């Protein structure tokens, strides 16, 4: 009788210990930590997303309260947008355990085709990561280095030209002299803020809608301009660490 009772007690303790350990593991997952957040979503396929950031510590895109913008391009059906960052840039940027979620305001751009997190001024550089989910996938961007003090985004609108040529205008920013930029994002939108086209090129020029020097195309299907209509052009020069060093904005008309 004693042996049977001892066995029952031992079984009860083992079950209780296993339940406690399982419960403890669940509780210890911190959804504010990027590593734990990825672990929590381990049944989802990891995929990438496009993100960069720009600004300064004073005013950017008309915003003085949040003079830093973390831009990203969401896939169709994307949900659960999150932003994580490190305390500084001395930590290992590839170690997700170094990233903590920061609650920031979210602003749609080009009627939601792009989005941006509205980031306040900072005193130290840090790495940032954007995530979102689509069906069956968890999307994570390459680390973005926020450096508003050491490399504030400069406006090169004055040296960016738009040569109006009917429905095939040409854009040129060859006078730019920013060696840190490795790629350029050209965006054309109509006056209703609908994105017409978005292309990436390594060159300092691009012609609508010539894809011969385009390395990545995020345009909607069959983009075109209407003769006589007005449009807005936005240019971002992006460095290898995904910081927008230069930016330009121009208006133009698709001349008849």
pLDDT band at 256 (very low <50, low <70, confident <90, very high): confident
From the list 230, 231, 234, 229, the residue with the least C-alpha distance to 249 is 234
Q: CATH fold of 34-146, please?
A: Immunoglobulin-like (2.60.40)
Whether residue 92 has pLDDT greater than 70: yes
Cα distances (Å, whole numbers) of residue 200 to 33, 41, 82, 212, 238: 32, 31, 24, 11, 10
Residue 167: cis peptide before it, omega within 30 degrees of 0: no
* Per-residue pLDDT, 55: 98
H/E element, 11: helix 2-28
Tell me the mean pLDDT in the region 26-49: 93
Residue 26 confidence class, pLDDT cut points 50, 70, 90: low
Torsions phi, psi of 56, nearest 5? -155, -165
% of the chain exceeding 90 in pLDDT:
88
Structural domain boundaries in the chain: 1-28, 34-146, 154-253
17 has pLDDT over 70: no
Confidence bin at 8 (pLDDT 50/70/90): very low
Length of the chain: 256
Verdict on whether the full-model pTM lies above 0.85: yes
The rounded distance, in Å, linking the Cα atoms of 222 and 50 is: 21
- CATH fold, domain 154-253, is Immunoglobulin-like (2.60.40)
189 - beta bridge partners?
195, 232
197: alpha, beta or left? (left if phi > 0; alpha if psi -120 to 50) = beta
Q: How would residue 28 be classed by pLDDT, with cut points 50, 70 and 90?
A: confident
Using the predicted structure, report yes or no on whether residue 14 has a pLDDT greater than 60.
no
Confidence of residue 27 (pLDDT cuts 50, 70, 90): low
217 CB neighbour count, 10 Å cutoff = 13
Model confidence pLDDT, tens digit, residues 97-123: 999 999 999 999 999 999 999 999 999
């Amino acid at each position: 009788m004693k042996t049977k009772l001892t066995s029952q007690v031992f079984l009860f303790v083992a079950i209780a210990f296993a339940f406690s350990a399982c419960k403890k593991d669940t509780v210890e997952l911190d959804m504010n930590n990027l590593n734990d957040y990825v672990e929590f979503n381990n049944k989802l396929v990891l995929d990438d997303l496009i993100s960069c950031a720009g600004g300064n510590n004073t005013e950017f895109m008309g915003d003085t309260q949040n003079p830093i913008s973390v831009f990203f391009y969401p896939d169709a059906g994307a949900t659960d947008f999150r932003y994580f960052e490190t305390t500084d840039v001395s930590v290992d940027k590839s170690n997700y355990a170094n990233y903590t979620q920061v609650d920031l305001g979210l602003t749609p751009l080009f009627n939601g085709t792009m989005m941006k997190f509205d980031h306040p001024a900072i005193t130290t550089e840090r790495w940032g990561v954007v995530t979102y989910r689509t069906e069956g996938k968890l999307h994570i961007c390459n680390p973005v280095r926020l450096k508003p003090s050491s490399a504030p985004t400069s406006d090169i609108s004055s040296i960016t030209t738009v040569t109006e040529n009917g429905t095939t205008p040409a854009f040129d920013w060859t006078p730019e002299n920013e060696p840190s930029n490795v790629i350029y994002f050209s965006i054309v939108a109509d006056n209703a803020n609908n994105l017409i086209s978005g292309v990436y090129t390594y060159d300092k020029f691009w012609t609508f809608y010539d894809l011969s020097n385009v390395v990545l195309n995020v345009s909607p299907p069959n983009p075109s301009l209407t003769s006589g209509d007005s449009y807005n052009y936005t240019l971002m020069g992006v460095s290898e660490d995904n910081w927008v060093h230069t930016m330009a904005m121009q208006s133009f008309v698709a001349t008849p």
